[in-house]
Amino acid sequence: MTTSFNSLRNGPDERGFFGNFGGRFVAETLMPLILELEDAWEKAKADPTFAEELKSLSVDYAGRPSPLYFAERLTEHCRALSGGKGGAEIWFKREELNHTGSHKINNCLGQILLARRMGKTRIIAETGAGQHGVAAATVSARFGLPCMVYMGATDVERQKPNVFRMRLLGAEVTAVTSGAGTLKDAMNEALRDWVTNVEDTYYLIGTAAGPHPYPVMVRDFQSVIGIETKDQFRAVKGRLPDAVLACVGGGSNAIGMFHPFLDDPEVAIYGVEAGGHGIDVPNGHAASMNGGRPGVLHGNRTYLLQDADGQILEGHSISAGLDYPGVGPEHSWLRDSGRVTYVPATDREALDAFQVCTKLEGIIPALESSHAIAEALKLAPTMDKDKAIVVCLSGRGDKDVFSVAGYLGETI
């Protein structure tokens, strides 16, 4: 990592804080485990064989680098929307072409290698949409480790194809019925498992949140997205893009895309949160940075959806992967510092973007990624033709076709 005095890329500090956000707010039982993990991660980073092993798997197993693709017809669509006056070029960073169909594999490969180095013999993970669960189950199968995936009962119901994929991969899927049965409840249950099985178990967190060192570790594993984007865009255009966009739930694909660009002030950065039914609808969205306030949950201080008593709200999104009441702490810090602009996209806007992208580009995006595309459709027409924006297409939408059919009133 390049560091300098004025860099925005130096965080976190040694206690895991990005400004006021982050930290290690965990039960004492887990504290020694988290310190052990931090130690193992520092050693792995300093060991060239770790990087080589990860690189080799990323290329041969996951299919990296993922392509950077000029979305020509979507660009034309936006130029038409601008009345021919403008319309920036729209490019996709195609993380949906990775093995398992999303960016989640980048993080899972890194963490499973770390778990092996630590001598852990059992993997646990939480999942919302099932994308991380599938990636965790995949790497566990690849390395022959038993894997337990915690998934909210509501999500098990709305993401059946992914549940079956995980089971095919040999993972055990536990449906969590506490709370509203979504991602935060799954994370609570995974933490309860970890605290009970401290000796042999590795908790493979799927997003850039949780206690330090998870946010920085997951960010570093996902930064391959932004690093490749920079190189690929430069190779085509000889410069950097004018804006990069990504959807933000916990925010792992976003921080992976954003982090390499933080010190490039000519690049505008947009994170797109789940606006659900609308930011003004109480508990009707999952936009923690646009409609929440700072609090402490799941080991870190960050923006959270919560009531006046500090009880965490469930939130809502059409997309199970964005349906989380918190966000990674580095995003909270980037929000307050003003470097990244976080905006909401509603369920309706995401659904429209999903259909436009599918029809015009022949690419079915995940509902999560459709939020980022929705913002691109708003932003591109306001920019000049010689500008370019890159959208992180974090996942493919095959998993969403059943729920989209439901929203469109069709039976399949």
Partner 1 sequence: MTETRISRRFAKTAAENRPALVTFVTAGDPDLETSLAIVSALPKAGADVIELGMPFSDPMADGPAIQAAGKRALDAGQTLAKTLDLVRRFRATDAATPIVLMGYYNPIFIYGVDRFLTDATAAGVDGLIVVDLPPEADDELCLPARAAGINFVRLATPTTDDKRLPSVLANASGFVYYVSINGITGSAAPDAGLVAAAVDRIKRHTDLPVAVGFGVRTAEQAREIGRNADGVVVGSALVGAIAGSLADGRATEATVPAVARLVEDLARGVRAARARAAE
| Residue among 178, 281, 384, 402 that touches partner 1 (CB under 8 A) | 178
Which lies closer to partner 1 via its Cβ, residue 1 or residue 296? 296
Cα–Cα distance for residue pair 104/191, rounded to 1 Å: 20
Least distance between partner 1 and beta carbon 323 (Å): 15
Least distance between partner 1 and beta carbon 122 (Å): 14
| Residue among 85, 167, 192, 359 that touches partner 1 (CB under 8 A) | 192
Cα–Cα distance for residue pair 205/346, rounded to 1 Å: 27
> Cα 90 to chain center, whole Å?
21
Least distance between partner 1 and beta carbon 351 (Å): 29
Q: What is each CA distance from 160 to 3, 141, 154, 163, 399, in whole angstroms?
A: 44, 20, 10, 5, 8
Q: Other CB atoms closer than 10 Å to residue 181's CB: what's the count?
A: 19
Which lies closer to partner 1 via its Cβ, residue 33 or residue 225? 33
Q: Is the peptide bond before 294 cis (omega within 30 degrees of 0)?
A: no
- Any idea which residues carry the catalytic annotation? 78, 103
- 327 touches partner 1 (CB under 8 A): no
Beta strands in 60-130 (DSSP E): 68-70, 89-93, 122-127
- 312 touches partner 1 (CB under 8 A): yes
Tokens for 153? 């009962």
Stretch that binds partner 1, among 90-98, 183-191, 349-357, 382-390 (CB under 8 A): 183-191
Per-residue x/- mask for partner 1, residues 274 to 293, rule CB under 8 A? --------------------
- 168 touches partner 1 (CB under 8 A): no
Which lies closer to partner 1 via its Cβ, residue 36 or residue 72? 36
Stretch that binds partner 1, among 153-161, 294-302, 337-345, 382-390 (CB under 8 A): 294-302
Which lies closer to partner 1 via its Cβ, residue 170 or residue 179? 179
- Whether the CB-CB separation of 96 and 395 falls below 8 Å is answered with yes
- 64 touches partner 1 (CB under 8 A): no
Tokens for 151? 């998934």
Q: Other CB atoms closer than 10 Å to residue 115's CB: what's the count?
A: 23
Which lies closer to partner 1 via its Cβ, residue 193 or residue 352? 193
| Residue among 3, 4, 311, 411 that touches partner 1 (CB under 8 A) | 311
- Whether the CB-CB separation of 24 and 212 falls below 8 Å is answered with yes
Which lies closer to partner 1 via its Cβ, residue 112 or residue 123? 123
3-state secondary structure of 185: helix
State the helix-helix crossing angle for 31-45 and 104-117, rounded to 10 degrees: 100
Which lies closer to partner 1 via its Cβ, residue 309 or residue 386? 309
Stretch that binds partner 1, among 176-184, 221-229, 354-362, 368-376 (CB under 8 A): 176-184
Residue 250's nearest CA partner among 203, 214, 201, 282 is 214
Considering only residues 9-48, where is the footprint of partner 1 by CB under 8 A? Answer: 15, 23-33
Least distance between partner 1 and beta carbon 201 (Å): 10
Considering only residues 350-379, where is the footprint of partner 1 by CB under 8 A? Answer: none
- 310 touches partner 1 (CB under 8 A): yes
Residue 191's nearest CA partner among 31, 311, 298 is 298
Considering only residues 239-268, where is the footprint of partner 1 by CB under 8 A? Answer: none
The count of residues interacting with partner 1 (CB under 8 A) is 35
Provide DSSP, 24-71.
EE--TTTHHHHHHHHHHHHHHHT-HHHHHHHHHHHHHTT-PSPPEEE-
| Residue among 297, 334, 391, 393 that touches partner 1 (CB under 8 A) | 297
- 198 touches partner 1 (CB under 8 A): yes
Beta strands in 111-251 (DSSP E): 122-127, 147-152, 172-176, 201-203, 243-248
| Residue among 80, 236, 296, 408 that touches partner 1 (CB under 8 A) | 296
Least distance between partner 1 and beta carbon 309 (Å): 4
Least distance between partner 1 and beta carbon 27 (Å): 5
Cα–Cα distance for residue pair 234/212, rounded to 1 Å: 33
Provide DSSP, 250-276.
S-HHHHHHHGGGTT-TTSEEEEEEEEE
Least distance between partner 1 and beta carbon 326 (Å): 10
Residues 6 or more apart in contact with residue 57 via CB below 8 angstroms: 109, 113
List residues binding partner 1 (CB under 8 A).
15, 23-33, 178-179, 184, 188, 191-192, 195-198, 295-299, 301, 304, 306, 308-312
